[in-house]
A and B are shown apart, each in its own frame.
Chain A
Amino acid sequence: MTQEPTPEPTPEDAEQPWERLDPRMLLVHPFRQLGPLLPLLVPVVVAGRALSGPFNAPWELLGLLVVAGTGVWSYLTTEYRLGPERVELRRGLLARRVLTAPLDRVRTVDLSSTLVHRLLGLASVRIGTGTSADGSGLELDGLRTARAEALRRSLLERAALARAEADGPDNGDAEPTADLQADLSTEPSPALPADRPPTTVLRLDPRWARYAPLSMAGLALSGVVVGGGSQVVVPVLQALGINPRPEWLPHTWSGAVALTVLLLLVVLVAVPVLAALGYLATSWGLVLTREAGPRGDVWRLRRGLLTTRETTLDAARVSGVVLSAPVGLRAVGAGRLEAMTTGLDREDRGTLELVPPAPAAVLRTTGAAVLDDPDPLDRLDAGLARHGAAATRRRWRRTLTPLLVVAPVALVVPLLLPHATPGVLLDGLRLGVPVACAVLLLPAAWLARSRARALGHALTERHLVARQGSLVQRTHVLDLDHVIGWTWRDSWFQRRAGLVSLDATTAGGPQRVTVLDVPEDVAVALALRAQPGLLEPFTQVTGPEEGRGANAPVR
């Protein structure tokens, strides 16, 4: 990997005047500084009231002044300029930092705005260069929305121009994704962004918010709300000087039961509503489009009600998709879709949620569009190869063994401790644990069956498909061009069952896609077909047909 030094500014670049960001940022700044501190500030203010600081001065106001002061300082010392060849952002007065993004390296220009930004008509412009040499770009936070939109358009146009000039037809620049771009882009060369109107692949239907409570995030959220809330309520009430056990609370059993039921009902209604509202807040107006960018096609994802966010992703950097369906969503035929992305930068590798919880049919069409190939997801219905009886047995064994081992151990251990004092603890061990295991046996059996049924894989012309899991069932679809190695893993138990887990390693997303517990010859055949030529020298024919090797046609 080469690390090109950023070129010195050309005279034209240096002639451009430095500009300040929008002065309304002065109002945004205090919110941003105080926002994350709010959970801290509340107790500080409450405690401050209670303790009353020295000289009774309003110390809180002094803090606000400091925050406002730093806002003014950062506004006055932050400037940017736009040259014909580069964008620069200058920060600080004493310790000055200049961030530079050469235009021919600009890959993405994304706009985002928080609620405060939007109230003031501002947007933040993030310019991504996708190289690690100079960080991963710079952020102009913030500009008037109209100015930001114009800047985005002009930056992308100029980036395409600068790139076309810098590159020529082909100057041997080791652009890693050049060949992939050629495959994926419908146009022969990366042309100006204005050439082709964007194609819209997906628009959010607000009715999908009904799926939100069923997703794992929804369940977790409710857990956090209920658990965390109950932890905090009493101390806060006490701090505020309110008696946490007032007289009107029922002191009888029936009263307590009634109150509990009431609270449960509130939670049962409130949690789904909260989850749906959260869904709408983050995903409102979600639009996924494919359009021409400075370096081949890009995916653009816009979403958000209060905070609008825009993400741009080079189509060539998408190495596949992940379909994930937590058990709740699966029951109603829904799931989520993520894209696996590769980058030169550590930080821009990962997964990006393309579709929040939505019906399976929507995931299929969107996934097919992102993969540019409907085949992999069509296989999900009947076309996945099963992993066989040994794999099924292994799923059952792995799910049930813990229960079947723990129960007898709990029964036997007390016998080994003749001197242990009898008591609640010992009884719990001898009685409670086996009973709990017995009760859990039925759900565990369901889990084992559903895990075994989830197992499946397929190899299409361009993709590897692998499905596993039950509580969260995930289907990975990985572009074979993005496979950078293979790993066959088998524990002693797996070897005895003749199974192996095959990993296709990749630079993006989860770093590897696992085909769980397949017979070894299947795993080898899979890698052989996926990347012909690579594996042949390391394979051998075994088993009963071994003797036929002599008769095999000479290659």
Chain B
Amino acid sequence: MPAGPVRLRPPAHRLDRRALLRWYVGEAGIVVLGVAIVLIAVWLVPDRFVPPWLPWLLIGLDVVQALVVPPWRYRVHRWEVTDEAVYTQTGWWTRERRLAPLSRVQTVDVDQGVLDRALGLAEVRVTTASAAGALRIPYLALPAAEQLAAELTRAARASGGDGT
């Protein structure tokens, strides 16, 4: 065992570059929604309870988040698959690094939403027998995702076990 403090290294691969675009589109939707909520709230709440700068502050925060979060997400999200295990890193404010041995993998799904379809992206989702969350590799190019899912399924079957 090495002498220094041992840490996890980040997984090897990044997501497809279009993931960044996909997240920007998603955040844009959230900004539109957020602005609508702020405007409606301003309209409903009596003026004397609302300092004039407050709506602008909220809208500003909304926009800043929409600009900052996608690149942040893209920097955090990474994945790696070996003969033994799947290793993913997701999140932005809270980072989650998950590791599951292939022998414990139950299902491998490829997931595609409407927006993902338009951009030719797909998410690979690996579940184990625990309900504490799946390992997600969001936003690979569809062919890459399908190929990865096929490989994972084959490898999981080869490593045996039924996942419990």
Name A residues whose Cβ lies closer than 8 Å to a Cβ of B.
Answer: 1, 174, 176-177, 342, 344, 416-417, 419-421, 484-492, 495, 503, 505-507, 511-512, 520-521, 524-525, 527-528, 531, 533-535, 537-546, 548-549, 552
Contact = CB atoms under 8 A, between A and B. Distances in A.
A203 to B, nearest CB: 32
A490 B76 CA distance: 12
Q: How large is the interface on B (under 10, 10 to 19, 20 to 34, 35 or more residues)?
A: 35 or more
Lowest 5 CB-CB distances: which A-B pairs, in order?
Answer: A545-B4, A419-B48, A507-B129, A521-B5, A485-B100
Contact of B3 (A486, A507, A527, A548): A548
Contact of B7 (A421, A533, A540): A540
Contacts, number: 142
Contact of A537 (B5, B51, B82, B161): B82
A1 B105 CA distance: 11
B60 interface: no
A541 B96 CA distance: 20
15 contacts: A176-B161, A176-B162, A419-B48, A421-B48, A484-B101, A505-B133, A506-B130, A507-B128, A521-B6, A533-B84, A535-B8, A539-B6, A539-B7, A543-B4, A545-B5
Interface of B: 2-9, 11, 47-49, 51, 80, 82, 84-85, 87, 93-101, 104, 106, 128-133, 135, 161-164
Most buried by A among B11, B49, B94: B94
B4 A507 contact: no
B95 A484 contact: no
A531 B104 CA distance: 13
B4 A548 contact: yes
Contacts of B128: 484-485, 505, 507
B162 A539 contact: no
A493 to B, nearest CB: 9
Given A505-B130, A539-B7, A548-B3, A488 B163 contact: no
B2 A549 contact: yes
B85 to A, nearest CB: 6
Given A1-B106, A484-B164, A488-B8, 16 more contacts: A1-B163, A484-B100, A484-B101, A484-B128, A486-B100, A487-B97, A487-B98, A491-B94, A505-B132, A511-B131, A525-B6, A534-B84, A537-B85, A538-B8, A538-B99, A548-B2
B154 to A, nearest CB: 16
B95 to A, nearest CB: 6
A416 B53 CA distance: 11
